[in-house]
Amino acid sequence: MSKSKRLLDLMMTVNRKRKFTVKELAGEFGVSPRTILRDLQELGELGVPLYSEVGPHGGYQVLNERILPPIAFTEEEAMAIFFASHALRHYKYLPFKEESVAALQKFYHYMSGDVRDRIDEMKHRIDFVTPARQAEFPYLAILLEAATGQKVLQIDYETKGKRMDRAIQPIGIYASNGLWYCPAYCFLRGGIRVFRCDRIHTADYAVSGPAPLDLRHVHLGNRDNYSNVQQREEAEGQKEPRQGADRKRVQVPVKELGCRQSGIYIELTQEGVQACEAELWSSSLLHIREDGTGWLEGGVPHKDLSFFARFVIGLCNEAEVQKPPELAGMVKALLAGMLDRYK
């Protein structure tokens, strides 16, 4: 085995292992311990973060900042990866902002000159536009970390001009139209709610209060199975229930939302269907006919009717509320209020 191939295989091996000894690696690669020591020294010089421990139970281990082995990309693959990362530049806040910038610079630097020239030519000819927002999202990293680690967070959350403490267990985070959202199990409401991340004033791991639920089976792709529509945040000043200081994880299925439901039916033109397709909450309600027209139908929390009234008004003549009568009444009241402004 050539030295270059052995170094590449050694890099992949040490990245895979949590801890190892020189003797183990020498036996695995069929070389002397002295050769392995030289190879490990070269890997360290290449940037592999190795840490050595002395003593009878010592050895080597790779620190958390481990690096990936070299990966070969075709020219088109390299350009696709570059522009996928380049598109994130429109987001002022990311859970891995500094790392993405560093990776993009590193990726670009090590490309061949002709590939860099192609990228430079394309930079101003392709883009993924995101609305510019003044909102700040300083807690994306801890929200994502809590979601992957099944942790409960205590947040100071503002909605409708009021602030209150909430214990939540995030499911994930996602961006839409320049804003970040965090679907999470809210222990105060007893169900999944969607929180605007810019309305979170503080976020930290809860040291007491509700024990984490087992939500490993719930993620962004299937959360609609546990809540029928993207939930708007409530603002009642109820005190959050406590369950003592026991932080042991309990396996509890996510409860269906217990709030009162209302059945809606809204007819849509082709343009109305296209407008609804752009809304993340519409997937469980939107039905499309072969001619491109469609309708919104399903059960939604009663408290969300005001949201749907405003949404229908935004669609103008592309939507018509057929039920419930209460929703149609809300639309009429809002339109009447708008007309009064322009008398």
Helix ranges restricted to H, the chain:
3-16, 22-29, 33-46, 75-86, 97-109, 113-122, 140-149, 270-277, 305-314, 325-341
- Give the residues across from 170 on adjacent strands: 184
Q: Place 153 in a pLDDT band, splitting at 50, 70 and 90.
A: very high
Cα distance between residue 340 and residue 343, in whole Å: 5
Rounded mean pLDDT, 196-200: 94
Per-residue pLDDT reduced to its tens digit, 201-257:
999 998 888 899 988 888 888 876 665 333 333 333 333 333 433 444 444 444 444
Residue 131's pLDDT band (cuts 50, 70, 90): confident
- Range in 152-156, 249-253, 325-329 the model is least confident about: 249-253
pLDDT value for 237 = 33
Tell me: pLDDT of 258 over 80: no
Order of all β-strands in the sheet with 286-288: 286-288, 294-301, 261-268, 319-323
- Dump pLDDT digits (tens) for 60-91: 777 665 555 566 677 788 888 888 888 888 88
Between residues 45 and 249, which one has the greater pLDDT? 45
d(CA 194, CA 183): 4
pTM of the predicted protein model:
0.63
Q: Between 238 and 323, whose confidence is greater?
A: 323
Query: Does residue 262 surpass a pLDDT of 60?
Result: yes
pLDDT tens figures, 179-193: 899 999 999 888 888
Mean residue pLDDT across the chain:
81
